Amino acid sequence: MVPGGQVPSEHAAATVVAQTNLSREKTVGSTSQNRRIAVRVVLLLAVVGLTACSSARKAPQPSAVERVTPAPTRAEPQSHPHRGLSIARDMLGMPYRYGGATPKGFDCSGLVYYSYRKAGIEVPRTTHGQYRQSQRVKLSRLQPGDLIFFRISRNTLSHVGIYVGGKRFIHAPSGGKRVAYASLDNPYWETRVIGAGRFQ
């Protein structure tokens, strides 16, 4: 029964049902389409996020030059290496020999004498002569190639080494030993230093 007391015809009723079903289909279809769009958006965001993480993890790679070229150190500048020091390094492992000043054997001042003369620098033969004629240098201003002097025997000047850098020096220690590195961090040497000198 509809307003006015009239009974709807079968055709009118069918029309109402069809319109209701169509409205439901549109609602279901719209919901399904919205779900598909939402899934696509989520997948897209996930892909973008993975790409961003992957890019963030990649550290910049150094160039070939950076990988093979070491940085120069403060202790031993690479631009002007001391020639006498280079020669003394070549003598590492040579035997100690009292009064020696050749690769067959060195005493401490003989190593300085040989290395410096090979480098074209004239120095006296003895430790005392090297100390007297060298220009005084503060220990805080030592440079590679400078000479370091020590008191060992009878608390008098009796030993010399060639400064390398980083508180290390090369010397011919004593009988039975060989030309080697030593360190001023060693209390034995640190407490026996009496000064340093330089030959230009």
pLDDT of res. 77: 41
Query: Catalytic: 128?
Result: no
Residue 16, CB-side half-sphere exposure with 13 Å CA sphere: 6
| Alpha-helix residue ranges (DSSP H) falling in 8-82 | 10-57, 64-68
- If you compute the radius of gyration of the chain from its CA atoms, what whole number of angstroms results? 44
Out of 80, 82, 108, 128, pick the active-site residue.
108
Cα(159)–Cα(155) distance, integer angstroms: 11
Which phi and psi angles does 97 have, rounded to 5°?
Answer: -150, 120
Mean pLDDT across 164-192? 96
Q: Is the pLDDT of residue 98 over 90?
A: yes
Pair 169, 163: CB distance under 8 Å:
yes
For the four alpha carbons of 18, 20, 24 and 26, in that order, the dihedral sign comes to positive
Mean pLDDT across 25-30? 52
Q: For residues 158, 161, 163 and 169, what is the CA-based torsion angle, rounded to 10 degrees? A: -110
Cα(165)–Cα(76) distance, integer angstroms: 6
Cα–Cα distances in angstroms (integers) from residue 66 to residues 62, 69, 77, 78, 170, in the given order = 6, 6, 18, 16, 31
Query: Catalytic: 80?
Result: no
Q: Is the pLDDT of residue 118 over 60?
A: yes
Q: Which of the four pLDDT bands, split at 50, 70 and 90, describes residue 116?
A: very high
Query: Catalytic: 108?
Result: yes
Residue 141, CB-side half-sphere exposure with 13 Å CA sphere: 6
